Amino acid sequence: MVPFDRGHLGPETSMAHPPIRRIGVLTAGGDCPGLNATIRAVVKTAIFRYGLEVVGIEDGFQGLIEGRTRPLTARDASGILARGGTMLGSNNRANPARQFVGLDPEGKPRHEDLRHRCVETVERAKLDALVVIGGDGTMSGASRLVERGLNIIGIPKTIDNDLVGSEISIGFLTAVATATDAIDKLHSTAESHHRVMVCEVMGRNAGWIALTAGVASGSDVILMPEVPFQWDAIAEFIDARRRFGPGFAIVVVAEGARPRDGEQVVAKVDLSSADPIRLGGIGAVVAHEIGARTGLETRVTVLGHVQRGGGPIAADRVLATNFGFWAVTALMQGARNRLIVRQRHCFTEVDLVAAADRQRTVPLGDPLVDAARAVGTSFGASIEIPAGDRPASPVC
């Protein structure tokens, strides 16, 4: 196991703070494979190695606001390693600093700052720190609680893999495996019927799932938010495959992808949510345009929430166990308000507040983008790589 890098310790990690005896743990935001494995690692490390008491907070920040907590024992954390979802429940609508409380007479959303209720829950449960497992929205919410004096250790969880500071997040690898398996299955029907098969995957404003699953499945076209695509470029590429190569094509499109000079396709606006924009529908648009421009029979498959379901693959279980273990270890070594991350395959930590309110998108100079282009994959447009986006050599 790679030693934990404490090189990022700042003045906020001073051991002058009161000792840690009792911690809380919650899972917030969208569910994903590996959450239970992370909870298991946090609970068992806290109890077996450090003799701590652990309290579970139900349904993410909603439970923290409403004071819904319960003690967690090692037995509670047993038998959950391979289970999908989260035993504590989750919520992707709650936002302690800006909680939706209804609509005003004009139909506009009303919000309240309920962070004081979160502080009251922590004080009532006698918690010395919180371990918060979530993505970028969750860490943004956690950073607002840090402003109220809570000590929070964050663990990156999101299939979108877009949390700033960490090269990987819990759930991403399983989501990619699920998407890859689905795209593999589309190959046979595409080849049999000489069709273009379009598969829409998740990822919001980041193309990590589309890129990784696209490469893993040998997809011909990968469309992602970081590279606004051109309809003519896609049509010409597919026409060339029809004339000189296989008479079919596989197109993977991230839900946040958009044409050049066009907008993202929004499926829904939910004013009651902390993140009201719900992307979706670009797959159908891409399929329609390809069919119209090439004359080829084109079909679309939208994977949707199947990417967030099921149990974690082995790699995600190991990753979750490492993140949970290092989170408690960092806390007991004096860390305060830090986000546990993995960088170049080493576990370390960054400032939680600094990582909040941002998204980690795919750099155009990413080695996987370069590898995909080298094997003939189209991104629907020419790629100009900014000088600062090109990785230093060697990559590793």
Containing structural domain, residue 158: 11-170+312-355
124-138 residue pLDDT tens: 999 999 999 999 999
Indicate the pTM of the whole model. Answer: 0.92
pLDDT of residue 273: 73
- DSSP single-letter state for residue 24: E
Q: Which residues pair with 24 in a beta bridge?
A: 55, 130
With b for 16 or more beta-carbon neighbours within 10 A and e for fewer, the 82-113 pattern comes to ebbbbbbbbbbbbbbbbbbeeeeeeeeeeeee
What are 154-163's pLDDT values in tens digits?
Answer: 999 999 999 9
Q: Are residues 300 and 216 in the same domain?
A: yes
- Final residue belonging to a domain, choices 246, 280, 308: 308
Q: Longest Cα pair distance anywhere in the chain, in angstroms?
A: 71
Profile the chain (396 residues) by mean pLDDT over runs of 10 residues.
45 60 96 97 98 98 97 97 96 91 88 96 98 95 96 97 96 98 93 90 96 97 97 95 85 97 89 80 96 94 95 98 98 96 96 94 95 96 76 50
Domain co-membership, 75 together with 116: yes
How many whole angstroms separate alpha carbon 362 and alpha carbon 178?
20
CA distances from 58 to 24, 71, 106, 280, 318 (A): 10, 11, 33, 29, 24
Q: What is the pLDDT of residue 134?
A: 96
- Is position 160 annotated as part of the catalytic site? yes
CB of 148 closer than 8 Å to CB of 322: no
Are the CB atoms for 32 and 174 separated by under 8 Å? Answer: yes
CATH number of the domain that residue 56 is part of: 3.40.50.450
60 and 116 assigned to the same domain: yes
Q: Are residues 153 and 190 in the same domain?
A: no
Distance (Å, rounded) from C-alpha 158 to C-alpha 173? 10
Name which of 176, 169, 167 is nearest 154 in CA terms. 169
Judgement on whether residues 185 and 107 belong to the same structural domain of the protein: no
Does residue 390 belong to any structural domain of this protein?
no
Query: How far are the Cα atoms of 40, 50, 126, 381 from residue 46, in angstroms, in the given order?
Result: 10, 5, 16, 50
Dist. CA 37–CA 78, nearest whole Å:
10
**Phi and psi (nearest 5°) for 252?**
-105, 125
pLDDT score recorded for residue 210: 98
The DSSP annotation for 142-186 comes to HHHHHTTT--EEEEEB-TT---TT-S--BTHHHHHHHHHHHHHHH
Provide the pLDDT for residue 315.
Answer: 98
Nearest alpha-carbon partner for 139 in 96, 187, 102, 184: 96
Whether 377 is in a domain gets the answer no
Do 141 and 22 lie in one domain? The reply is yes
In CATH, what number is assigned to the domain containing residue 180? 3.40.50.460
Question: How much is the pLDDT for 228?
Answer: 96
Q: Note whether 38 and 59 are same-domain residues.
A: yes
pLDDT in tens, 360-392: 999 999 999 999 999 999 999 988 777 766 655
Q: Rg (Cα) of the chain, in Å, rounded?
A: 22
Catalytic residue, from 160, 162, 316, 366: name it: 160
Instruction: Please give the Cα distance from 87 to 58 (Å, whole number).
Output: 9
Q: Provide the token pair at 145.
A: 């609680």
| Claim to verify: residue 149 and residue 39 sit in the same structural domain | yes
Asked if residue 44 and residue 193 are part of one domain, the reply reads: no
* Position 395 in a domain: no
Residue 388's pLDDT is 67
The single-letter DSSP state of residue 204 is T
Runs of H (alpha helix) within the chain? 35-44, 60-66, 115-124, 136-146, 172-193, 208-216, 231-244, 282-294, 314-332, 352-355, 367-374
Q: What is the pLDDT of residue 309?
A: 94
- The number of domains in the chain is 2
